[in-house]
Amino acid sequence: ALPSLSCHLWTDSTVVLAWIAKPSGTWKTFVSNRVTEIHSLSQSFQWHHVPGQDNPSDLLSRGLMPSDITQSKVWWNGPLWLSQTVDHWPPQPQLPDSPPESKQTVSMVVSSDRPIILFQRFSNINRLINAVVYVLRFIDHLPNKPCVTGTVTVSERERAIRQLIKIVQQEAFHKDLISLKAHSSIAQKGPLSSLNP
């Protein structure tokens, strides 16, 4: 049987290494498509950074004449340290935390007196529950998870009902909930006052 071999790939771009190190969905479409392809072709390979001065593909840009390239050992064999043990390889640089082409996440808090769900738009409770199920499916699908399709399940309906109860409570007891979150007392004449020990 053939021995197990490790395969090492090199790039002189720390930005590219940062792209490859994270899921393709982290990046904007152009980069994401290319990172997806790289991942599919190099799943079991190890990526490393090669300093620009040791990168054979940069020989011409550093002034080597095309007629001399056939005599270059670096062109044919790579830098000297490549044929030595791993401890002779160049140290790996710190990768940028937010390289170009990162998707930007923007969080907004909006205060509104309008209800979250316009209940009057639904002719019956079942349509409302199903609508919430599909909204929850969409939210679950956002972080690159596989999208659930098909018939609505019992557990999905139960989850949707729990969300609807939370929404109704938030709208009906809005001020009391704000007080409770701030560890303050609720209004003495409010509907929840009898539940306040």
Write the pLDDT tens digit of every residue in 81-111.
999 999 999 999 888 877 777 766 666 555 5
As a whole number, the mean pLDDT across the chain is 82
Lowest mean pLDDT among 2-11, 75-84, 162-171: 2-11
Select, from the ranges 10-24, 92-106, 108-122, the one with the highest average predicted confidence (pLDDT): 10-24
pLDDT band with cut points at 50, 70 and 90 for residue 1:
low
Please give the single-letter amino acid code of residue 150: G
Q: How far apart are CA 133 and CA 152, in angstroms?
A: 7
**Pairing mode of beta strands 46-49, 8-11:** parallel
Question: Band of the pLDDT at 71, cuts 50, 70, 90?
Answer: confident
* 175-191 per-position pLDDT tens digit: 877 887 887 777 777 77
> Residue 112: what pLDDT?
55
Residue whose tokens read 């991942």: 39
Q: pLDDT, tens digit, for every residue of 142-172? A: 766 666 778 889 999 999 999 999 888 888 8
State residue 115's pLDDT score: 59
In the predicted model, is pLDDT for residue 122 greater than 70?
A: yes
Q: What is the mean pLDDT of residues 57-81?
A: 85
CB atoms within 10 A of CB 146: 7
Is 99:15 a contact under the CB 8 Å cutoff?
yes
